[in-house]
Structure 1
Amino acid sequence: MNDLLIFSAIGLIIMVLGLLLLKREKRLFKDPVTTHATVVNYYNYIDPSASHIRTMYTMAVEYCLPDGQVIHAREQEGSTNKKYAVGTEIDIVYSREKPDFFIVKGDKSRMRILYGMIVTGILMLAVGIITVINGG
């Protein structure tokens, strides 16, 4: 019984966290700006959560705001491979509210992760509640 409560509580936390992050993402990209950016560097790090040693890469890009200010920003998520060669020009979408917060145009992976968190949390919560109701 206690294990089910803990399982359900973790599910609730994951769901709420996913909802809060989704709300933030939608707010930041409510009225985005599309521009060209140049891949200038990759930062690598070792993923400590992986079952084996895995190098992760975070892309850094440079782009100009309409006022001429140059922004040097890192991608918010890492990848196990370098998506674009250094020097490649790509289309990005950045937040008016937070200009150093960008995503590659057309990349929906962040939204998929957030929706996945919400669904996982709901399922964990539901399994815990249904099991308790059924006397498990």
Structure 2
Amino acid sequence: MDFIEFIQQNPETKPFWDAAAVDRFVLPWCLQCHRTHWYPRGVCPHCHSTELDWRESPGEGEIYSFAVNRRGKEPYVLAYVALNEGPIMLSNVVDADPAALSIGTKVKVVFKPDGLEGSIPLFALR
């Protein structure tokens, strides 16, 4: 089992990856304090409740911070995306000219094949 398969089978992250495999973006939601959080875990980081659920998200937000890696064949963008629901998620920004990006740029989730049997959520310009 490689690293990607391991992460996708982790009980705390499996609902996220199962949804991503069918191009759905979901986030963990606390039934106690009614807040969403990222990264998936068994305890709410806001109120420490273990009463969690998964909620569908439109996957929209803005670039909070980013870096452009220019080593390799093509540059790629690693970014923290501040989702409209509140959490900040580390991901990649794809299908965009890195020179056109800035903090505050609006982005939306897109799904790309993960090389196995599903998809991985990334972000593109909105």
TM range, smaller chain: 0.3 to 0.5
Higher helix share: 1
Considering Cα pairs closer than 8 Å and 6+ residues apart, tell me whether 1 or 2 has the greater RCO. Answer: 1
Q: State the TM-score, normalizing by the size of structure 1.
A: 0.36
Please say which structure displays the higher CA radius of gyration: 1
